[in-house]
Amino acid sequence: MKSLFNVLRYTKPYSGFLILNILFNVLSIVFSVFSFIIFIPFLRLIFRDDIKDVTQPIWSSEISLNSLKTYLEQYFNYSFNQIIVNAPTIEEGKLDALLSICIAIILIFLFKNVFRYLALFFIAPVRHGTVKDIRFRLYKKVLDLPLSFHSNSTRGDLIARMTSDIQEIEISIMSVIETIIKEPVTILVYLITMIIISPQLTLSILLILPITGFIIGKVGKTLKRSSAKGQQQIGQLLALIDESLNGLRIIKAFNANTYQNQRFLRANHRHFNIVKRISRKHNLSSPLSEFLGMSVVVLVLWFGGSLIIGGNSSLSAETFLVFIAIFSQIINPAKSFSTAFYNIQKGNASVERIEKILNEAVKIKEVDSPKSIHSFEQSIEYENIAFAYEEAKVLNQINLTIPKGKMIALVGASGGGKSTMVDLLPRFYDPIGGSIKIDGEDIKNYYLSDLRKLLGVVTQQSILFNDSVMNNIAFGESNPDKGRVIQSAKIANAHTFIKELENGYDTNIGNRGEKLSGGQRQRLTIARAIYQNPPILILDEATSALDSESEKLVQEALFNLMKNRTSIVIAHRLSTIQHADKIVVIDNGNIIEEGTHDELLKKGGGYEKLVKLQAF
């Protein structure tokens, strides 16, 4: 419950709407009570024949529930008695009084429902605005979290937290708001009215109601645990769907449809069993609370009826009927309490899953007073760099200097630590030892946004977005410079194929750029790097997945991109980096060789072995 109440702090920006909701709810409840009280003179008028002269009531100086009850009864009796006695005949007077009561009932119900609508009208911004804010904060946090977090998480589970978990929280927030504000006020007003009518009967009810609450609480205790399992299982389902859609070609190529279907069937069946149990427990709340509520009503009917029949109660028959009617209205708020209890238990499980993300530590942090950097002037220095993924050591005492304007190539066997080295430069991760310096200053001392503006990244996998060509090239800018976009595309050898697209630069390229070929996608990512115009480039296997014709176009685009820039290139195809200013050979997290292509061949070490393996 504590975590759910913490979520309610997000309602603070909408406190004005919340106050109006409370106000109109209270007014609606007050008119709801009057809608029942007005039936007392109606029933008296219908069922009683004796018409007596009633004096106008005078408010007693004594302030008590009993005096208030007496005054209200006398006031209604006097008002309707005046209508009857002032009419030509008693029958006409009764008809006039009946008409007055009917008009009063219509007006009371009109005001009651107008105020109820206004209460719902003003709660809508609270409900949807709060959920909107939580969803945005969760999305922002997911983007802020380091790559190490995402390496240990599944996309399906994150999507589930942003969708189904958020939906559960929306229901729970409404349940809490209704439970804390509306329902207690409703029950309180009705109870006060019942105490005014008959303290004796009301006391008997108050002795019975806690028993029903205890039974409902007992039934709902396990719902939170089941809900947490259900949300976790839907995350696994979404992860499996995402994995299947991404690997559709492989699934079909290996005739693995049946295998994947069986995996999904098992996961889907586990989810079915969990949500079935949750649904049964949740659906039990309404009939259980209604049955218990009506049991209490029957007990009150028996007890109150016995008192009236035995002449041991001052209540008239019509007042007792209205008392029962008012008490019956407590059943719905009481049912709402039990339903809210179940919803809150479900929502609490979702809140804990979301708060686990929101409270996750952002390990990549800026120092208290970071420095600005807008240009690269001298060199990049790796000094005694060590890094490990949890317990697995990846880099050991790496020392490397990259002068401005030079092309440095990183080569070596897969898993040696090449990609980790370049991932440390934009601070996707931080080293566990040593430091990386740009122009003599540790990169941790710079603004993170300034540091990353210095870097352009082109990876083996072309990361594109479901948007237009224009917005993909000028990614991150809301108002792109079209002329600069076209110029960047020309340098990247992409302008020609872009012009042939259906809508040119305004063509939507589909999910992950699926409407384009591999070479076209890669040239768009190069155009994106050119548009950014960074002084430092990171090229991670940028041509390894391309055919010969596409590779030639991409290599030319890369050559255009690298002009007058400092470049760090990771390449498996050693032919593409023969003209690098320095080639660095990395093996098992250590630099084992450095030099030009010719120098390393003369050494006859690890680089020569790599060259011979590729030649073979």
Domain final residue pick, 357, 390, 413: 357
**What are the helix (H) ranges across 145-256?**
147-151, 155-162, 164-177, 183-197, 199-220, 223-246, 248-253
Any domain includes 372: no
Question: What is d(CA 399, CA 394) in angstroms, rounded to the nearest whole number?
Answer: 14
pLDDT score recorded for residue 461 = 75
Q: Are residue 331 and residue 433 in the same domain, yes or no?
A: no
Any domain includes 463: yes
Question: What is d(CA 540, CA 419) in angstroms, rounded to the nearest whole number?
Answer: 7
Residue showing tokens 């009570």: 33
Q: Are residue 335 and residue 205 in the same domain, yes or no?
A: yes
Q: Are residue 342 and residue 432 in the same domain, yes or no?
A: no
Q: Are residue 350 and residue 392 in the same domain, yes or no?
A: no
Q: Are residue 93 and residue 242 in the same domain, yes or no?
A: yes
pLDDT score recorded for residue 146 = 76
Q: Are residue 345 and residue 390 in the same domain, yes or no?
A: no
Any domain includes 369: no
Enter the DSSP assignment of 181.
I
| CA distances (Å), origin 90, targets 41, 42, 125, 178, 553 | 16, 15, 54, 47, 104
What order of strands is seen across the sheet that includes strand 392-403?
A: 392-403, 379-389, 433-438, 441-442
Strands 379-389 and 433-438: antiparallel
Q: Are residue 131 and residue 13 in the same domain, yes or no?
A: yes
Q: Are residue 404 and residue 276 in the same domain, yes or no?
A: no
pLDDT score recorded for residue 439 = 92
Residue showing tokens 């195809």: 573
Amino acid at 377: E
CATH of the domain at 562: 3.40.50.300
Any domain includes 86: yes
Print the domain residue range for 426.
Answer: 379-615
Rounded to 5 degrees, what are φ and ψ at 184? -60, -40
Enumerate residue ranges in the chain where pLDDT < 50.
616
Enter the DSSP assignment of 437.
E
- Residues whose CB is less than 8 angstroms from the CB of residue 454 and which lie 6 or more positions away in sequence, other chains included: 373, 375, 376, 438, 534, 535, 536
Q: Which helix (H) or strand (E) holds 610?
A: helix 606-615
Q: Are residue 349 and residue 477 in the same domain, yes or no?
A: no
For 449, the token pair is 């946004």
Any domain includes 285: yes
Q: Are residue 193 and residue 285 in the same domain, yes or no?
A: yes
pLDDT score recorded for residue 442 = 93
Q: Are residue 315 and residue 394 in the same domain, yes or no?
A: no
Domain final residue pick, 302, 322, 357: 357
Domain final residue pick, 325, 357, 389: 357
pLDDT score recorded for residue 349 = 72
pLDDT in tens, 192-236: 877 877 777 777 777 766 666 566 555 555 555 555 566 566 667
Q: Are residue 162 and residue 84 in the same domain, yes or no?
A: yes
Any domain includes 293: yes
CATH of the domain at 128: 1.20.1560.10
Claim: this prediction has a pTM higher than 0.85? no
Any domain includes 363: no
pLDDT score recorded for residue 206 = 73
| Residue 449 CA neighbour count, 13 Å, CB half | 2
Residue showing tokens 């309490």: 337
pLDDT in tens, 298-331: 777 777 667 666 666 666 666 777 777 777 777 6
User: How many domains are there within the chain?
Assistant: 2
Any domain includes 364: no
pLDDT score recorded for residue 570 = 87
Question: What is d(CA 465, CA 471) in angstroms, rounded to the nearest whole number?
Answer: 9
Question: What is d(CA 330, CA 292) in angstroms, rounded to the nearest whole number?
Answer: 12
pLDDT in tens, 241-290: 776 766 665 666 556 777 778 877 887 787 777 777 767 766 666 676 66
